[in-house]
Amino acid sequence: MKIKVVDHSGAEHELEALPGWRVMEIIRDWELPIKAECGGSCACATCHVYVDEEWLPLLPEKSGEELDQLEVLADLKPNSRLSCQVLMSEELDGLRVALAPASLP
């Protein structure tokens, strides 16, 4: 499985991904610059990403916790998600996201 991640400089990286892993964990484990301060507990918004529009219908609905965290972001967009709340699956093979400014370490 693969995930495509556009970093803060605009470079695209194709990363190997395992099913069941959080997108945030995959990005962090491949050593791309992502703050992810809370480590995936949906208690901050420092793993904020922009999901390519074509992938949005395949993602689970945002939880109340995720919505609360996203609301505080100045750079919020309709395709904003917290990467700690998106679990990789076969259905998401090829998922493309871009790191948002709030995720910059």
Which domain range does residue 74 map to? 2-103
Q: Are 105 and 8 in contact (CB under 8 A)?
A: no
- The pLDDT, as a whole number, for residue 102 is 79
> How is the chain classified by DSSP, letter by letter?
-EEEEE-TTS-EEEEE--TT-BHHHHHHHTT-----TTSSSSSSSTTEEEE-GGGGGGSPPPPHHHHHHHHT-TT--TTEEEGGG-B--GGGTTEEEEE-GGG--
- Specify the pairing of strand 80-82 against strand 12-16: unpaired
CATH number at 15 reads: 3.10.20.30
Residues 58-84: pLDDT tens digits? 999 999 999 999 999 999 999 999 999
pLDDT above 90: residue 38: no
Q: Which of 90, 15, 87, 101 is nearest to 50 (CA)?
A: 101
Rounded average pLDDT over 45-56? 96
Q: How many domains does the chain have?
A: 1
pLDDT above 90: residue 39: no
> What's the mean pLDDT when you consider all of the chain?
94
Residues 12-36: pLDDT tens digits? 999 999 999 999 999 999 999 999 8
